[in-house]
Structure 1
Amino acid sequence: MKSAKRILSTVLLSVSLIASSFPSVYANNENADNNAKIGAIQAKEVIPSFLSGDLTQESEKTPQQIVEQYIAQEAKKYQLPAVQFKVTEQFVNSLNRTVVKTIQTYNGVPVQNSDRNYFINTDGVIEYIVGDYVYDITDRLALAVKPAEVSQKSIVSVIEEDLGIKPVYNEAPKSQLLLYPVDGKYNYIYKVTIEFRNPTYNKYVYYIDASNMSILGKNNQELSLEEPTVGSGIGQSGAVKQPLKMVKDNDVYYLKNTVENLKTIYELDGTYSEQDNCFDTDTGTNYQKDAVDAHYNMTNIINFFKGSPFYRNGNDDNGSEYTVEIIKDSSNVLNAYGYVNKVRIGAGKGSAGKSVSYAVDAMAHEFTHGILTSEGLGDFDEGHFEFNPPLTERMSLHEGISDVFGTICEYFLENEGTPDWTIGEDTGTIFRDCANPVIDNYTEYKRRILECENDRTIKYPKPHEGGGVITKAANLMAMGGTFKNVTVAPIGMEKLAVIFYHAVNDGNMVYDMKYPQFAAALLQSAETIYGANSSETNTVRKALGAVGLDLRMVYASGPSLQLTWLPLAGSHYGIYRRETGSTAEPEKIQETYNTTETVQAISWSYDYFIASIDENGNRISEFGSPLTYKMS
C-alpha cells in the first residue's frame, strides 16, 4: 500500500452497517427456532463492524492519538474494557484520508482476525471505520495464564521432527506468538513460517500450541545483463503468440519481461531459454507451450491493471517482480495457485488439451488472489486446517472476487477464447459457472454454514462454491436480469470493473472480511463514483438485494421481526410493506435513522422494503429489494 494511489473519485467511502451474518429473505414457523438462536448470537455484537459519519470532533492530535481516544470513548460508551492494540500500517490514501490500520493485542500478543481500519480526514475527524475487535477476549481465552516463552531452537526442533529431515533453510525460520481462535476459544499459538530448498523447495506455515508444543496444523505453501526485446512463441493451440516480451543475455533469450517486471520459469528456478527469439522447442516434458501461453497472458493481465481505471503498479502495487512458475511433473494437475507476486501453474490438460495457462480468465483469477491479499484480505491458505472450524467467508470472497476479475479480463483482453461468464472453459473443462453458480445467494450460504455448525459431520461449503454469491451479484450488475423476483438493469462490464476495483482498493479490505461488509463497500463505491441516486447505484443495490445482501433478517419470532440493511444516501429511512403478490404501492409502517430496526409483523405473507425519505416522510428513492416474511 502506498500514499498516492490513483482512483476515479475524490470522495471518501463511508459505510454505515451493522453486519448480519445470518440467513434471511424468507421465514416461517418451521425455521423460527433457528432464527431465535441466531438472534441470541447477534445480540452479543454490540458494536457495528462498519461505522461512518463524523465519528469524532476535529483534532490536531496525531492519527494514532485520535484512534486511541476514540477507542477509549467507545469502550466507555458500551461499558466494555479498553482494547489494547497496535498500529500495523499508516498511510494517506488517494482520497487524502489518513488510514490507520490496527490489530488488537492482549498483553502484547496479537489477536488473530481482529484488525480494524480507521479513516481520518484532514481536520482530524474519523469519518469511517471498518473491522472488529474481540471485546470479550478475556472470557474467551483457553488459558488464563500466558505460557512460558519457548526458544526458537525448541520450536524449530518440533518442526524438523515432523518433517523427518533437517533442511537447509533459505533464511532463518520466523515465528510469531498469536492468540488464535480454535473452536470458539483463543489459544496461544506459535505461527512459524519456514522456507527451504534442500532437499526440495518448500514453504510451510506451522501452527504450534504454545502450552505443550503440539502441532495443531500446517499448510504446505510450496512455491508455488539483460537486454529487453520481443519475439514470438508457439502456444498450446499451435498459434503463434506475439509480441512475446523477453530478454536477451549473451545471445540467449529468456522468458523474462523487464517492462511489466514478469518472469516465467520452470519449477525450482529452471529458466526457459532459446538460442533465438522464437520459443518453439517444446519437448513434451518441459511444458514450454504452457509457459508461452502463461507468459503472454500474464503480460496482458499486468498491463490491463496498469492502465485506466486501475493504475496498479504490479500485483502488490509496489512494482515487485511477478513470477509465473510451471510446476515440474504436473501433467495431471489441472489447477493453479495464486499468491502475492507469484502463481504456480499445473500442466494438466482439460478436455480440449489445454492447461490453465491457456485460459486468460483463470490466469487473471490467480493474479487477483495476490491483489486481494496485498490489499489486506486474509491470506487464502492461512487458517485453513482441520482444527479451525469453518472455511470462512473471507475465503469465499477471495474466490468470488477473483472470478469476477477473471471474467472482466477475459472480456477486455485479446485471447483465443470467447468472453463469457464461465471460468476455465478454454481448457475444455468448465471450472465454474459464474452466472449460474452452485450457491447463488447469501441466504443459502448461511443456511449451509448453520447446518454444518449443528452437525459437524457435514462439510462446509467449498470457497469456490461460496464465491458464487458475489459472482451472481456481479453478473446481474453487468448483464442485468431478473433473479429471486428482483429485476436489475445492466450497467455493463466497464462500470462493473470500476466499482469492484474501487471496493477492493484504497484501504477498504480487512483481514477477516465478511460478505455484508464487502457488499457495503461495493454500494459505497457506486455512490462515490456515480452518485447516490444514480442508475448505477440503484443497479448495485438491487443486485446485492437479489442475492440476499441488502435487506436481511436478523431475528424473527412470531410478530417480532428485526431487519438490517445497507445504508442509503442520506440517513432517514422508511420501512414499507405490502402483501406478497400484490402490485399495490407498499405502505410505510415505520421511520428510522438506524440501519437496523425491529418491526411488528402481521399475519400472512408480506414483503418488506426500505427506501430513503425526506424530513417530511416522503419517499425520495426507489424501493430496495423486498424481503418476504410469513407469519401464520
Structure 2
Amino acid sequence: MVLTASLLASPFAGTPAYGLQPQDQGTVQLQKNASASKIDHRSVFAKTVTGKKNDSTDAVLFVEQQKDKLSLINPEKNLKVKKKETDELGMTHVKLQQTKNGIPVENSELIVHYDKEGAVQTINGYYNNELAAKEIDTAPVVSAGKALDAAKRSVSAPEIFEYEPKTDLVIYQDQLAYKVNLNFLGELPGNWFVFINAKTGEIVDQYNGLMHADEYKASKGSGIGVKGDHRVLNIAHKNDKDTKGGTEFYLYDKSHENTEGLLTYDFKNQWRSSTVRLPGELFKSNDASFKSDYERAGVDAHYNSKKVYDYYMNEHGRNSIDGKGMAIISTVHYGENYNNAFWNGQQMTYGDGDGKFMISLSAGLDVAAHEMTHGVTTNTSNLQYRFESGALNEAFSDIFGALIDDNDWEVGEDIMGADAVATGRDALRSLSNPRRFPVNAAYTPYGDGNGKYPQHMDEFYHLPLNLDNGGVHINSSIINHAAYLTGIEIGREKLGKIYYRALTVYLTPTSTFSDARKALLQSAADLYGAESAEYKSTEAGLNGVGIIE
C-alpha cells in the first residue's frame, strides 16, 4: 500500500553532466561530460564567485552574460522572472521560467542564487536549448474547450470535479500543448495532468499527480485518538442563535498568528458526492470533548496537523504549507475501508483502513507529515510526480515524516493493522533498513531480482510509468537511506535543515538524483561550510547509496 500517487524515476540518459570546478574571477566554470550527447533538456549546475558586490540585480541579464560558459542559446530572449525570494541566510534566489513567444516551456526553469552581498553564487536548473534556437508557431488550432473534453475522456473523468479544471497553454516536448489539470474523487481519485497537442488535439502525455495528505471563537478541547491516546486540542466554538442546538464545538484551530487556521473535516465514508464536496463537513460536537469512536480519526488528524505545522514554523520559519499562512485542511473518513491517504494538491485526505492491513491512516504523525510535506514540495520545488523527480518527491515526504515523528526511522508504523504486523509488515517503509520489506511482486522483474526495497543505486528499479509512476514509492528508499546515513552522524535537526534547504531553494520540477546530490551538498555548504563535518556527512550518506555524481 502507498501513501500517495505514483510517478516514474529513471535518469535523463544523455543529459550533459556538469561538475563544479575551481573558480576564477568573474566567470562560470563548468565541466561537461565528454561522452554526453547534445539533447534538448540541458541540466545546469554551475558555481561562480566574482568577488564583486552587487554584480547584477538582473538575473536574466547575468545568465545572458554567461551564456557561452553555460552553453545556453538566447537566454535573455527566452527567460522571464517567475519568483524572487530572500532566505534566512540573506541569500536571494531568483527563479526564471523559460518561455517561447511568451508561453512557458514546461519543466524548464533556472534558479540564480545570490549571496547576501549580491554576488551570484550558483545557477541551477534545466533549459531547452534546441527549442530556444528554433521558431515555433504558438497559435493554437484546437480550442481550450475541446482540449478539456479530450482530457476528460482520456482519464475517464466523472462529471463532478472537486476543483474547476484548469487549462493552460504551454510548450511541451517541443510542441504547443494544452496542460489540463483534472481533480476528482472516487475509489480511484485523481489529480491528473493531461497534455494535448494544441494543433491536432492528440494526447501527448498524461500522468496522475495525486500524492498518496458566523464567527468562530478559539477555545481548548480534548479528544481520544485512534489508538487511545489522550489529545489536547485547539478548537473553536460558535453559538448559532438561529437553531436550537446552542453552542457547538469544531475541529478548527485558529490560534496561530497570520494563519488561516487548521481545519479538520468529515467526509462520512463517501467516495464522492454531488451534495457534499471536499473537504466535507467541519467536524463538530455538542461539547469540547471529542471522544466517541467515530471522532477518533478526526482527533488524530487535527492533533497531528498542528504537530507538523509547529515543526515547520519552529525549525524552518515556514508559516504553513505555502509559507504564507494558508489554511491546513484535513479530511477523514474518506471512502470505505480505504487503505490510503493522499495530498491532492490542496489538502490532506485520510482513509479509515480496512482494520486488517491498516487502521485509520490519520493515526500516524509521520503520515500527516508525509502528506503535508507533499504540499510544501508543491509550493517550492514542485517536483514532478514521476521518474526520479517523483521518487525525490516521495523521499522528501518520507524523510520529513521520520524527522517529525522522531521515535524511529520508519514510516507508517502506527497505522499498520494486526494482520499486517503478524506477517512482519510492521511499517510501510524503513529509512534505516529499506530491504526489510518486499515490493509488489509485479515490480520485482524491473530490479535486481531480490524483490526488496532498494537502498543503493545498484538495486534501482527501472519501472515503466504504469507501475508506481515508474517507482516513486520504490526508488525513493535510496534517498531515504542516504538521509538516514547522514542523520545518524549529524542528528535530525541539522539533517532537516540541509534537506529542507535543498528542497525549497535548489531543486526544480525535473530534478534527478544527481541533481539532488548537488543540491544537498550546496545546501550543506551554505549552512555549515564546504569543509564542515555536516558537509562531509551529507556527502558520505549519498556516497553510501551510490549517488556519486
TM-score normalised per structure 1: 0.66
In 2 relative to 1, CA 177–548 (structure 1 residues): closer, same or farther, beyond 3 Å? same
Aligned equivalent of 1:538: 536
SS across alignment from 2:129: coil
* Deviation, structure 1 residue 258: 0.8
Aligned equivalent of 1:384: none
Aligned equivalent of 1:304: 311
The whole-number CA distance in structure 2 between the counterparts of 1:164 and 1:532 is: 51
In 2 relative to 1, CA 236–171 (structure 1 residues): closer, same or farther, beyond 3 Å? closer
Aligned equivalent of 2:292: 281
Query: What aligned pairs does 1:38-57 form with structure 2 within 5 A after superposition?
Result: 40-41=35-36, 49-54=44-49
SS across alignment from 2:474: helix
- Deviations 1:516-546 (CA, angstroms, capped at 9, x unpaired): 2222222233333333333222222212111
Structure 2: segments with no counterpart, 5+ residues? 1-16, 21-32, 240-246, 268-276, 417-425, 435-452
**1:497 is aligned to 2:496:** yes
The whole-number CA distance in structure 2 between the counterparts of 1:213 and 1:95 is: 47
The whole-number CA distance in structure 2 between the counterparts of 1:226 and 1:393 is: 44
Q: Is the 8 A contact 1:236 1:358 kept in 2?
A: yes
The whole-number CA distance in structure 2 between the counterparts of 1:194 and 1:46 is: 27
Aligned equivalent of 2:392: 397
**1:427 is aligned to 2:436:** no
* Deviation, structure 1 residue 323: 0.3
**1:229 is aligned to 2:223:** no
Q: Is the 8 A contact 2:171 2:177 kept in 1?
A: yes
Q: Is the 8 A contact 1:56 1:126 kept in 2?
A: no
In 2 relative to 1, CA 79–177 (structure 1 residues): closer, same or farther, beyond 3 Å? closer
Aligned equivalent of 1:516: 514
Match of 1:464 among 470, 473, 476: 473
Aligned equivalent of 1:263: 263
Letter in 2 for 1:404: I
Q: Is the 8 A contact 2:391 2:473 kept in 1?
A: yes
- Deviations 1:324-360 (CA, angstroms, capped at 9, x unpaired): 01253232x2211125552111111464862221111
- Deviations 1:174-221 (CA, angstroms, capped at 9, x unpaired): 32111223xxxx3322012356899x9986543222122234436485
**1:476 is aligned to 2:485:** yes
**1:336 is aligned to 2:347:** no
Aligned equivalent of 2:18: 18
Letter in 2 for 1:273: K
Q: Is the 8 A contact 1:434 1:475 kept in 2?
A: yes
SS across alignment from 1:101: strand
Letter in 2 for 1:252: E
- Deviations 1:218-240 (CA, angstroms, capped at 9, x unpaired): 64859981111111112222333
Aligned equivalent of 1:68: 61
SS across alignment from 1:133: strand
The whole-number CA distance in structure 1 between the counterparts of 2:469 and 2:134 is: 24
TM-score normalised per structure 2: 0.75
**1:368 is aligned to 2:367:** no
Which deviates more, 318-327 or 122-131?
122-131
The whole-number CA distance in structure 1 between the counterparts of 2:429 and 2:310 is: 25
Q: Is the 8 A contact 2:64 2:74 kept in 1?
A: no
The whole-number CA distance in structure 2 between the counterparts of 1:441 and 1:166 is: 41
Q: Is the 8 A contact 1:423 1:431 kept in 2?
A: yes
The whole-number CA distance in structure 2 between the counterparts of 1:145 and 1:175 is: 19
SS across alignment from 1:357: helix
Q: Is the 8 A contact 1:193 1:204 kept in 2?
A: yes
The whole-number CA distance in structure 1 between the counterparts of 2:497 and 2:364 is: 23
SS across alignment from 2:223: strand
**1:135 is aligned to 2:132:** no
* Deviation, structure 1 residue 128: 1.3
Percent sequence identity is 26
The whole-number CA distance in structure 1 between the counterparts of 2:335 and 2:345 is: 24
In 2 relative to 1, CA 219–521 (structure 1 residues): closer, same or farther, beyond 3 Å? closer
The whole-number CA distance in structure 1 between the counterparts of 2:63 and 2:391 is: 32
The whole-number CA distance in structure 1 between the counterparts of 2:211 and 2:43 is: 38
The whole-number CA distance in structure 2 between the counterparts of 1:396 and 1:87 is: 28
Which deviates more, 54-63 or 541-550?
54-63
- Deviations 1:454-478 (CA, angstroms, capped at 9, x unpaired): xx99987511111112111111112
RMSD: 3.6
Aligned equivalent of 1:98: 92
Structure 1: segments with no counterpart, 5+ residues? 1-16, 21-37, 381-390, 412-418, 480-489, 553-632
Aligned equivalent of 1:249: 238
The whole-number CA distance in structure 2 between the counterparts of 1:443 and 1:223 is: 26
* Deviation, structure 1 residue 495: 2.3
In 2 relative to 1, CA 123–292 (structure 1 residues): closer, same or farther, beyond 3 Å? closer
- Deviations 1:549-572 (CA, angstroms, capped at 9, x unpaired): 23x4xxxxxxxxxxxxxxxxxxxx
* Deviation, structure 1 residue 252: 0.3
SS across alignment from 2:506: coil
The whole-number CA distance in structure 2 between the counterparts of 1:305 and 1:291 is: 21
Query: What aligned pairs does 1:209-224 form with structure 2 within 5 A after superposition?
Result: 209-216=197-204, 217=206, 219=208
Q: Is the 8 A contact 1:202 1:222 kept in 2?
A: no
The whole-number CA distance in structure 2 between the counterparts of 1:163 and 1:504 is: 30
In 2 relative to 1, CA 266–201 (structure 1 residues): closer, same or farther, beyond 3 Å? farther
Aligned equivalent of 2:444: none
The whole-number CA distance in structure 1 between the counterparts of 2:211 and 2:389 is: 22
The whole-number CA distance in structure 2 between the counterparts of 1:162 and 1:190 is: 14
Q: Which has the larger radius of gyration?
A: 1
The whole-number CA distance in structure 2 between the counterparts of 1:85 and 1:232 is: 53
The whole-number CA distance in structure 1 between the counterparts of 2:220 and 2:384 is: 35
The whole-number CA distance in structure 1 between the counterparts of 2:104 and 2:512 is: 20
**1:439 is aligned to 2:454:** yes
- Deviations 1:370-399 (CA, angstroms, capped at 9, x unpaired): 11221123253xxxxxxxxxx321111111
Match of 2:362 among 357, 362, 384: 357
The whole-number CA distance in structure 2 between the counterparts of 1:529 and 1:146 is: 43
SS across alignment from 1:136: helix
SS across alignment from 2:494: helix
Q: Is the 8 A contact 1:527 1:537 kept in 2?
A: yes
Letter in 2 for 1:253: F
- Deviations 1:424-455 (CA, angstroms, capped at 9, x unpaired): 1112242112122212123443xx44xx69xx
Letter in 2 for 1:535: A
In 2 relative to 1, CA 118–394 (structure 1 residues): closer, same or farther, beyond 3 Å? same
* Deviation, structure 1 residue 278: 0.9
The whole-number CA distance in structure 1 between the counterparts of 2:390 and 2:211 is: 19
* Deviation, structure 1 residue 400: 1.0
